[in-house]
Chain A
Amino acid sequence: MIHLKNVHKRFRRPEGGWFDAVRDTTLHIKAGEIFGLIGFSGAGKSTLLRLINLLERPDHGSVNVDGRDLTSLSAAELRRARQNIGMVFQQFNLMANRTVAANIAFPLEIAGWSRADIDARVAECLDVVGLADRAGHYPAQLSGGQKQRVGIARALAPRPHVILADEPTSALDPKTTQSILDCLQDINARFGVTVVIVTHEMHVIRSICHRAALLDAGEVVELLQVTDKQVAARSALAKSLLEVA
């Protein structure tokens, strides 16, 4: 489903010199799985996630999603391909001047759906995330957990095959965190959407991920298997993350 091959991304430091955020990394994510990217701050996990929909373009290496090499697409083709890859953000990134329904409608508007199809799909997605009674509210009138549900509904609306979640629960309290994780798991189970989730909490991995990659200094240091909420970890770093959690 998602194949990152030898992707490398470096950034120019403000004080000069270069910083290798992702180093020559290869990663395969299967269709229908919930895959975690875990590591401490600065490990390169968010950059790696953003390479999947080319919000960051790799300096070299290839990004293949759903059988298409994204790095070789034209700008217009890439926009179409992105409509098949939903994204959920830590800070929600909702449009403040649009209602909940209009926020969810946005990706459908840009994809050129008809008004009737949009209205029907928005209603469906509101149901999936349990916010049918909030359709006419503005983001400012919602709690953090509700805002993230809108973010998830928006990502889900164009029926994507992949949803990328960048620290989706890091701005939320523990109880809300669990409900958002349950929501993502529900979507994965019901619609078979492949979910890639970035986190620094082992709890998130244990709770919903099937597999996870542990990142350190821009490299995958270990692939973790998760079974029955148990994480098999070999490296010292993975064990230290387990202790924190």
Chain B
Amino acid sequence: MDEQLTLAQALANLSDLAPEIWQASVETGLMLAIGLSVAIVVGGPLGILLYLTQPGQLFANRAVNGVVGWFVNLVRSFPFIILMVSLVPLTRLLVGSTIGPIAAAVPLSFAAIPYFARLVEQTLREIPRGVIEAAEAMGASPAQIIWKVLLGEARAGLISSLTILTISFLSYSAVAGVVGGGGIGDLAIRYGYYRFQTEVMVAMVLLLVVIVQIIQFAGNHLAARLDKR
């Protein structure tokens, strides 16, 4: 690494790596898709439960709220890398391996569930209590209140929450990559750090910058369109 790296040389190196960069992007996309889907399917209802069991809400229940809240805080206390390592046995049980994007999606999903649950709870709190009460007075069932009132009124906030979650988990997925998950972050470390190919590191960071900007732009745009308040 004595000679000065020319721009032309750097671009040529990157171009040689194009198939791997594509592969890494697919892996990152896969990790995010699994993690976010699990977050929505499991964390979403958990967030609604947290909200509805608060004092003064539809299913006010101190015990349930306390237990669920405690569990959510517990999982969220773990630094992500420690959570990953502690979940290795579970990952092996579920996926049969601890390497690759599918395996990395296990701890990612695990961390995303309580994160999204809190975001959902927070978002639902912004709905005026009177609107929910009006639905109760009209004879709406709890399921109708959840689907039509809570999710309908909070939809813009929920999209914003999902945007925050996606961007946070894009960087979590880079951590997951280091311990064998693959993805863009993993590629940056392997080539950019271990092989001293700084141009790969720079290119991967730029790629992540662009992805984050696109996600945020799309999230803002969709939220604004859905928000009629």
Interface residues of A (CB under 8 A from B): 53, 55, 76, 78-83, 85-87, 89, 91, 93-98, 106-107, 109-111, 138-140, 154, 158, 164
Residue ID in chain B nearest A99 by CB atoms = B228
A79 in contact with B133 (CB, 8 Å):
no
Measured between beta carbons, the chain A residues less than 8 angstroms from B139 are: 78-83, 107, 110-111
A89 in contact with B153 (CB, 8 Å):
no
1/0 per residue, CB under 8 A from A, across B123-164: the answer is 000001011011111111100100011001101100000000
Residue ID in chain A nearest B136 by CB atoms = A55
Measured between beta carbons, the chain A residues less than 8 angstroms from B130 are: 89, 91, 93
Give the CA-CA distance A78 to B136 in the complex, in Å: 10
Chain A binding surface, main DSSP class: mixed
Measured between beta carbons, the chain B residues less than 8 angstroms from A78 are: 139
Measured between beta carbons, the chain B residues less than 8 angstroms from A138 are: 228
The tally of CB-CB contacts under 8 A between chains A and B is: 73
Can you name 14 A-B pairs with beta carbons within 8 Å?
A55-B133, A55-B136, A78-B139, A79-B141, A81-B139, A86-B138, A91-B128, A93-B128, A93-B134, A96-B229, A97-B155, A97-B227, A106-B148, A110-B139
B148 in contact with A89 (CB, 8 Å):
no
Task: Say whether B202 faces chain A, with CB atoms less than 8 Å apart.
Answer: no
Measured between beta carbons, the chain A residues less than 8 angstroms from B218 are: none
Give the CA-CA distance A93 to B136 in the complex, in Å: 12
Interface residues in B42-83 (C-beta closer than 8 Å to A) = none
Chain B binding surface, main DSSP class: helix
Residue ID in chain B nearest A107 by CB atoms = B138
Measured between beta carbons, the chain B residues less than 8 angstroms from A53 are: 137
Measured between beta carbons, the chain A residues less than 8 angstroms from B33 are: none
The answer, among A81, A85, A110, A164, for a CB contact under 8 Å with B140, is: A110
Interface residues on B, range: 20 to 34
A93 in contact with B148 (CB, 8 Å):
no
In the A-B complex, list the 3 residue pairs whose CB atoms are closest, starting with the nearest: A82-B139, A93-B134, A79-B139
B229 in contact with A97 (CB, 8 Å):
yes
B153 in contact with A82 (CB, 8 Å):
no
1/0 per residue, CB under 8 A from A, across B207-229: the answer is 00000000000000000001111
A82 in contact with B138 (CB, 8 Å):
yes
Give the CA-CA distance A87 to B136 in the complex, in Å: 10
Measured between beta carbons, the chain B residues less than 8 angstroms from A80 are: 139
Nearest CB on B from A51, distance (A): 12
B136 in contact with A97 (CB, 8 Å):
no
Give the CA-CA distance A78 to B137 in the complex, in Å: 10
Give the CA-CA distance A79 to B226 in the complex, in Å: 30
